[in-house]
Structure 1
Amino acid sequence: MMSELAQSENTPMMSCGQKVKINGIEKLALSPLPVTNNRQPIAVTKSISVNQHGLLELRSVNAAPGLIQMLLLIVLLALGFITGFWIFGLMYFLLPILPVPVLFTLFVGGGIYLQFKDSADSACKNIPVIFHPQKRELLISRVKSAGLIRPSFFGNITSKGYSEGMSDLTLLSGFAGFALFSAGWGLFFAERELSTAWLITGIIFLLGGALLIYIPLKPWFTYFRQLRAQPRQTEQQQFIGVPWEQVAVELHHLSAVSYIGLRTMYTLNFICPLPGETDKKYLISLPVYSKEEGLSLFELIRDYMEHGAQGIEQTAAAKLQTETADYTRAAYRQKMQEMRRKNPLFYPLWRLWNIVTLRYWAHRYLERDLDVLPAQMMNREEVVNWCQPLPESEWQPMSAELQEANQRVRALYAAGYQWESEEVRSVLQDYVQVS
């Protein structure tokens, strides 16, 4: 799983080898100055692979189709409730309870629609992060849009930016307004004739409820009014080649207590500068199981960027094995065949259970968002041209400082020192002073 967007304002860049602890997160800087750390260059994550152009890439994967399966079941249940509301209303006099199915349909149905729409939009606009050793760059994609950010009740991240959720008081006013409006509406359809007092009460409930409902809906009315008034703008898709030696790579470690006990989490983060924007960074975050895995994964990428100009066969990345991702339909069919072979007696029941619980559709949904839609972006002319090999005369060499630093630390490794040794750290500090 990879997070592709970060907006870190005024965050100082750490020097290679530096350690800091911020808000409980231990950070270890591996780059800039991507020197070898003397680890075995290996990768156990399926996030890293070789694309159709023979270049190394980092891509989004999902190791838990079961979570999407639960999401689809919840969506199906919500749609069933909406359908049931309307069927019940049509069969048993809809008017007295009309506000309930209308508002429930708008709130729940609209939320489901926007959730799937945002997911598809994000998948269409993102490509894997591609490493090009001949250019000494990595390619990132970014959507730059000055368009309006859609409001949200509980907070949401879209391709256009982050929308803060509404306050608890605002949400409470919406629920209270819904209850008052529904009660006032129901009074006017009571079987008995209303007295003047009840009539006035019903009108007060309707007006008060409408006013309270308007409070959380006001940002939406403003958004649609501004959207209609402003000229239609097209989003600008940016493809940015970031020099490898300008990328800050950090290994983050966080220990936290959850309901299942103490949990330790590691992430390998690539923080890329954005041209012309000093207050924003682009973040790629990869979860890893341990510090050693993070160091080995970085060494694999670093080795590829140092020696991969002649071809991936010259690097440790040539040993990467391409496996079927767990979330694809091919993996689902493979699992079906395996279950049929191992347990043919209970296979029909197991297959029926997977159909009822929407397992196949979870795989189909993930394959669309993680493979099919990003592949369309990979076929764009800008991406294809960037991935083309360069003539040897145009290959970008490593900086003289990086070559010198690599030679010095390799000599120390040969003498028995480790990357964490003070002798190696002094070399890294010398490079920081030179740069």
Structure 2
Amino acid sequence: MPKPTKDESLPPMRAGERESRAGGEQYCLSPLPVPTDSEHGVDVAHIDVRHDEATMDLRQGASPESLLITGHVFSVGLVAIGGLALIFLLSAVYKGSLPLELVAGGLGSIYAVILFPLFAGILYPDVVLKRIPPIRLHRQRREVAFVVDAPGRRFWLPDPTNMWLMAISGAIAMPTGIMIFVDMFEWMTNPETAFPLKVLLIHIASLAFLPLYPHFYDFCRKLVGQQRQTVLVPWEDVIAVCGFNPSLSAGGVTGFGWNFALMPPDPERPGYTLPGAGIIVGVGGLPGALAQWEYIRRFMEEGPEAITPSAQEWGLEWYDAQVARERERYERTHDKRRWQRFRREQWWNHARFAHWYTEYRMKHVLPRAVPKDWLAEWSRPLPKAQWARPSRPLTELSEHLRAAYQRGEPFIEMGNVEDRFGVEVEPTPRKAYPTLPFAANAA
């Protein structure tokens, strides 16, 4: 969907159209979810977090990658603190004494290093994951449920997913943590020193801020009537695009990346999408974007038997199997260096904890993004007699496209497929989609 200007919307793209802008390209795959002749329907971005015979939930799930990076940085911090401790220890041996203040400061520094993965790897990502509801597709109703921001003026409090909140609370927690260790040592050794109550309260507040602020934020939004809403968008109106966009910096283009996006249009404003809704994920290239779209489209048009879910690549069971495979390879090849390098890497990145916590997130954190009864009635399977049917234009276009693919014509070179095959599509009436309430305390 083209990005609209502030005062005037741009004409919405249709399936098959391609647009070049800002050094990149954008391909429109829907509205009208036509087949693209992708060889496979693959969940390239691993966004299918749950599906059954009638519904599928799409969202960016938990991944061990960020936890592995956090574990790597944590290990670097511990080694740095250990190096300083060794220097102080050698100095103490040389001088014959070790100031206890240095011991207290060292313990405080270790505590501060531990707080980094707590904030960057656990608390903040959990807040983000709990505030991203899934997109729920119902293939039998041929509808898609999006959670959107309430219309009206923008809320003045910063969103809980704002990274600056994590950075500020972490920047307060780490130095106050060091101060607590140092001040507690002074309080225990010097009777005239007051207990560091203020520092302790500030430190506790900084630790509790990230978990508690989302509840305060939602409470304030509820007071001013800015709660989120669930809209039910017809499947054939949903916008699917894939784009090839450059990454820019002050020095020029730093790289290129392919993205796939699924968004709900605003029926009352052509060229716009509904605020706060949709999903955009990275894919490896145009074939990956088409495969991701085909995975979703085939579920909606053909059913769960037409798709093959991606293999799980997280969790303790998967991690133990990976270690067992590497051990078996070592016993077969006697490649001791490879085995030792693998074990060091897993230990250095705290891989076992990363996979355990990823499994915990998938089972216990992600479900908290929506209330337990969210769309319970709407999500139930329907009797086959009540299933919605594809529209005539979609059926006709799909037949034309499959015939074109047999002739060797690629989808990405056809342009607007409605114009290409002379299929007339009645314009969508400009009226709001059905809207349901969404609990403000879902996070």
Superposed, which structure 2 residues align to 1:119-134 within 5 Å? 119-134=125-140
Corresponding residue of 1:216: none
Q: What is the identity, as a one-letter code, of the residue corresponding to 2:282?
A: P
2:244 match: secondary structure: strand
Corresponding residue of 1:247: 238
Q: What is the identity, as a one-letter code, of the residue corresponding to 2:237?
A: Q
Partners of 1:257 and 1:123 in 2: CA distance: 27
Partners of 1:165 and 1:48 in 2: CA distance: 25
1:212-257 superposed Cα distances (whole Å, 9 cap, x missing partner) = xxxxxxxx9xxx9xx79x9695895644433212211111012569
Partners of 1:349 and 1:162 in 2: CA distance: 34
Counterpart check, 1:331 vs 2:340: no
1:269 match: secondary structure: strand
% identical aligned pairs: 19
Corresponding residue of 2:18: 19
Corresponding residue of 1:358: 350
Corresponding residue of 2:203: none
Instruction: Give the TM-score of the pair, scaled to structure 2.
Output: 0.61
Counterpart check, 1:92 vs 2:101: yes
Question: Is the CA contact (8 Å cut-off) linking 1:147 and 1:233 kept in structure 2?
Answer: no
1:92 match: secondary structure: helix
301 and 321 in structure 1: CA distance in 2 versus 1, 3 angstrom threshold: closer
Corresponding residue of 2:123: 117
Corresponding residue of 1:58: 58
72 and 81 in structure 1: CA distance in 2 versus 1, 3 angstrom threshold: same
1:306 match: secondary structure: helix
Superposed, which structure 2 residues align to 1:30-429 within 5 Å? 30-43=29-42, 45=44, 47-49=46-48, 51=50, 53-54=52-53, 55-61=55-61, 65=64, 67-75=66-74, 91-92=100-101, 113=119, 116-141=122-147, 149-150=157-158, 158-159=160-161, 236=227, 238-255=229-246, 263-273=255-265, 280=275, 282-308=277-303, 312-313=304-305, 316-317=306-307, 320-324=308-312, 326-344=313-331, 346=336, 351=343, 354-376=346-368, 380-414=372-406, 417-419=409-411, 420-421=413-414, 424=417, 426-427=419-420
Question: Is the CA contact (8 Å cut-off) linking 1:56 and 1:131 kept in structure 2?
Answer: yes
Deviation of 1:351 after TM superposition, in Å, equals 4.2
Question: Is the CA contact (8 Å cut-off) linking 2:71 and 2:348 kept in structure 1?
Answer: no
2:264 match: secondary structure: strand
Deviation of 1:31 after TM superposition, in Å, equals 1.0
Partners of 2:43 and 2:49 in 1: CA distance: 14
Partners of 1:8 and 1:80 in 2: CA distance: 51
Q: What is the identity, as a one-letter code, of the residue corresponding to 1:37?
A: T
Q: What is the identity, as a one-letter code, of the residue corresponding to 2:52?
A: H
2:277 match: secondary structure: strand
Aligned residues: 355
Question: Is the CA contact (8 Å cut-off) linking 1:29 and 1:250 kept in structure 2?
Answer: yes
Deviation of 1:48 after TM superposition, in Å, equals 4.9
237 and 333 in structure 1: CA distance in 2 versus 1, 3 angstrom threshold: farther
Partners of 2:358 and 2:277 in 1: CA distance: 24
121 and 165 in structure 1: CA distance in 2 versus 1, 3 angstrom threshold: closer
Partners of 1:350 and 1:135 in 2: CA distance: 49
* Cα RMSD, aligned residues only: 5.2
Residue segments in structure 1 that go unaligned for 5+ positions in a row: 1-5, 151-156, 167-173, 179-219
Q: What is the identity, as a one-letter code, of the residue corresponding to 1:323?
A: A
Deviation of 1:380 after TM superposition, in Å, equals 1.5
Partners of 2:221 and 2:419 in 1: CA distance: 55
Deviation of 1:334 after TM superposition, in Å, equals 0.9
Question: Is the CA contact (8 Å cut-off) linking 2:56 and 2:137 kept in structure 1?
Answer: yes
Q: What is the identity, as a one-letter code, of the residue corresponding to 2:328?
A: R
